[in-house]
Amino acid sequence: MLVGHSTGGGEVARYCGRHGTKRVAKAILISAISPLMLQTDANPDGLPKSVFDGFRAGMNEDRAQFFIDVPTGPFFGCNRPGAEVSQGMIWSWWQQGMIASFKGAYDCITVFSETDSTEDLKGMEIPVLLLHGDDDQIVPIDTSARAGIKLLPNGRLKEYPGGAHALPNLNAQEINKDLLDFLKGGKVMEWCSRWTLISLDR
């Protein structure tokens, strides 16, 4: 069973598209970039390339400040009124960015913005659970999960009201429960009273 967050969710989709799902029972994509982040003629609701060019410029100009600005702003939703800010999480995010390869982190911007996993999602016949915050400022839900659920043959979407991009950090207990319930084969429809569920089976 495969679980991926953000770009990792795109990696799970690409793995299944490339290698098939014969050895994969289920998959969970959390705040995932799939099917496509970049605005194109075929994907008019995506984000303009200028947004990602801004990320690249920020890294080039001041890598250390870039890795502070992102977590103190949209990644954890710290820029929202009344947000509970964890300085520890911010500095942990900064540390991870600073010890990563500059080229690897820089190239990742192209990967998470331009990778099109539309066909990968269409071929994932296994049960797939999408978990996404409806206030995700990094990977907007309309561009990703709400578009992706329409492509999955056996997909379910749980939306976290007010949820930011960093769901595994900020909503750890709820995420863990949802993961275990899904992976154990729990009756997902019983959760409807607690959250928005969209199911597409064909």
Which candidate, 188, 49, 189, 175, places its Cα nearest to that of 109?
Answer: 49
Q: Is 136 a catalytic residue?
A: yes
Strands 196-201 and 154-160: antiparallel
Question: By the 8 A CB rule, do 69 and 60 touch?
Answer: no
- Determine whether 182 is exposed, middle or buried from the number of CB atoms within 10 Å of its CB (0-12, 13-18, 19+): buried
Q: Of all helices (H) and strands (E), which one includes residue 133?
A: strand 128-133
Q: Is 132 a catalytic residue?
A: no
SS3 percent helix, strand, coil of the chain, rounded to 5, is 45, 15, 40
Structure tokens of 177? 């429960």
Residue 132 has, within 13 A of its CA and on its CB side, a CA count of 30
Catalytic residue among 31, 34, 144, 165: 165
Catalytic residue among 5, 132, 136, 144: 136
DSSP state for residue 38 in the 8-state scheme: B
Catalytic residue among 5, 6, 34, 132: 6
Alpha-carbon gap, residue 57 to 66, rounded angstroms: 9
Distances (CA, A) of 36 to 59, 132, 164, 199: 22, 15, 19, 20
- Return the active site residues: 6, 136, 165
